[in-house]
Amino acid sequence: MFDVIPAIDLIDGACVRLTKGDYSRKKVYSGDPLEVAKAYEAIGLRRLHLVDLDGARSGGIVNHKVLERIATQTGLIVDFGGGIKRDEDIKQAFECGAAMVTGGSIAVKDPERFLGWLKTYGPQRIILGADVSDGFVAVSGWQEASEVTGEQLILSYAKEGLKKVISTEISRDGMLSGPSFELYASITEALDDQGFTDLELIASGGVSCFDDLLKLEAQGLSGVIVGKAIYEGRITLEKIAEFQRSCNPDV
């Protein structure tokens, strides 16, 4: 099983892409996220990575109405992240239709709370967002650096039952320069060494062409998040749909 997961990043309710997480380097691609989501569903994709960039920067969910619209008007399996810091936030995300929630900053800044969510909602609904810059995890909408490496963070939660991780190499995000294959190989090796062979690792950041998808699948990853490469026409939806069907013929 390998999933190609389109990303919709939200600022002021619109679909945008940043470059290396820089809010000053924003490009708006669509004012109607629901129509974009419907286009992904129409070609047979089953998942969506929805990120509330306003929430990530402000410290609380902002674009919950967009989440609700997409969740109620499509059949997509939505994983939602950005601004989820409190118990009320994660409750709101699930009530608005998220199937899964991605937590990044909270996992670094408040591990006790993140572990509580993992136990309360289960490892199939909680995703760790391990987004790194120069090897270290970045938090607060990628505006702050932590002192923990991506591998350290992932392994610490894998020992607590975590089953799903999305990892972004921030320097590649929005650059269309290719994913950090080395990063994913290193994480996979560390997980295998510790016996966590069933953890689902999803790549994010830098996808530039169809060959990148083939290489990531060959690395044994569970999936890849694609954003700018779709918006910029580097990979067609038709090609993604064909690839998705070949990866998951029984779905």
Active site residues: 9, 131
Alpha-carbon distance of 22 to 25, in angstroms, equals 5
Assigned token pair, 219: 């690395």
The number of angstroms, rounded, from the C-alpha of 185 to the middle of its chain's C-alpha atoms is: 18
The number of angstroms, rounded, from the C-alpha of 38 to the middle of its chain's C-alpha atoms is: 19
User: Given the DSSP bridges, would you call strands 3-11 and 77-81 parallel, antiparallel or unpaired?
Assistant: unpaired
Assigned token pair, 242: 């064909």
CB-facing half-sphere around the CA of 12: CA atoms within 13 A: 9
Alpha-carbon distance of 241 to 59, in angstroms, equals 35
Give the list of residues 6+ apart from residue 116 with CB closer than 8 angstroms, or none: none
Assigned token pair, 16: 């945008």
The number of angstroms, rounded, from the C-alpha of 236 to the middle of its chain's C-alpha atoms is: 20
* Three-class SS state of 208: coil
DSSP 59-117: TS---HHHHHHHHHHS--EEEEESS--SHHHHHHHHHTT-SEEEESHHHHH-HHHHHHH
Residue 64's identity, in one-letter code, is H
